[in-house]
Amino acid sequence: MLFTLGIVGTGLLSIPVLAGSAAYALGEARRWPVGLARKPLRAKAFYATILVAIVIGAIANVLSISPMRALVWAAVIMAVDTRVMGRFTVSGPVLRLGWLATGLIAAAAIGWAASLFIGAAQ
């Protein structure tokens, strides 16, 4: 029981840290007034971002969305968006190489899984 309480307590401590860091990053990128030292009425977008990040995190937890998978897909989506990445957008040969690597890894995983079933059947 004490172990479970410790894990829940640690999770509750991480919520404001993660939501706050997301709010700082978005606020700095959008040039909003940011900072926990500011009153909420002076940094409305910053505090709204904290609230939205907490709600999204709670919903993702309830829906059992894998955080690592979500991070990977967020990076894939951002990498091809010129509004986000500017001149560092992934395109052309690098984009094709990335998808080729993804295909090869998927083929290797399928081959590995097939070898397990074939080996188990013999």
Q: Two tokens at 36? A: 């926990």
Output the CA angle 89-92-108, nearest 5 degrees.
Answer: 100
Cα-Cα end-to-end distance for the chain: 46
Place of tokens 């904290």: 50
- The pLDDT averaged over each successive group of 10 residues in the chain (122 residues) is 66 78 91 93 94 88 85 86 88 91 95 87 70
Angle between helices 44-62 and 2-30 (to 10 degrees): 140
Cα–Cα distance, 12 to 77 (Å, whole number): 29
Give the pLDDT confidence score for residue 1 in this predicted structure.
Answer: 60
Q: Answer positive or negative: Cα dihedral of 106, 107, 112, 118.
A: positive
Sorted by where each begins, the domain ranges of the chain are 1-69, 79-122
Give the pLDDT confidence score for residue 3 in this predicted structure.
Answer: 63
pTM of this structure: 0.58
Give the pLDDT confidence score for residue 77 in this predicted structure.
Answer: 86
30: three-class secondary structure by DSSP? helix
> Taking the CB of residue 46, how many other CB atoms lie within 10 A of it?
22
Give the pLDDT confidence score for residue 103 in this predicted structure.
Answer: 95
